[in-house]
Structures are given as structure tokens and as C-alpha cells.
Amino acid sequence: GAGVSQSPSNKVTEKGKDVELRCDPISGHTALYWYRQSLGQGLEFLIYFQGNSAPDKSGLPSDRFSAERTGGSVSTLTIQRTQQEDSAVYLCASSPSSGPYNEQFFGPGTRLTVL
């Protein structure tokens, strides 16, 4: 079956512009996560959606970052007024549930470059 897909794979934008990153999780997965990864480093948690519950936004670095998940499936991460320090790979992952020991299935990421 299809894995997690993300689009675009690469995005180059100018400082101050807004960008939208899309994630299509594995069908039936109720949990969805966004992470940020800089220069092949570890993953920085951004936001977590579980079913119809209110998202956990505790990892969002500033109010320029927001995300939504429509119909419990597709998610969009929006970065407003992008800054150079926003340049990174943004990874999306989905999981069958929010229970323990659940594997997270990752998409290939969107590489964002802010000039």
C-alpha cells in the first residue's frame, strides 16, 4: 500500500513569503506528526494530531507556524513570513493510533530553503 507522501519535495522561497507544506498520511492512521530536521540532525517535534482531538501544538517554535488536518486525513503545515532560520527538512509521520509502542511511518520530507 501507499506510504506517507509529502509535497512539494523541495521548496525555495524568499524571506517574508508564506509557504504551505502538505502531508498525506497512510489511510486509516489516526495519529499524524510534523517534525523539523536541520542539516541531518535529530528531529524536532512541531505538532501532533490524534483523531478529532485538539492538536498538541507545544512544539511550534513561533506563532508564524500553524497546521491543520482536514477530515482526519490530509494535513497542511503553514509557515507565514518565512525567515532564513526556517530552512530545514520538514517531515510528516503517521501512526495507526496514539497508543504505546506504535511505529511512526515517515514521509520523505519537504526540503525548505528560505533565501
In whole angstroms, give the CA distance from residue 28 to residue 30. Answer: 6
Contacts of residue 80, defined as CB under 8 A and 6 or more positions apart, other chains included, come to: 18, 64, 65, 66
Instruction: Quote the least distance from Cβ 61 to another protein, whole Å.
Output: 14
Nearest to 79 by CA among 25, 22, 27: 22
With CB under 8 A as the contact rule, the residue among 20, 43, 64, 73 that binds another protein is 43
Residues 60-89 that bind another protein (CB under 8 A): none
Instruction: Quote the least distance from Cβ 18 to another protein, whole Å.
Output: 24
Residues at the interface with another protein (CB under 8 A) = 4, 35, 40-45, 48, 56, 91, 93, 98-109
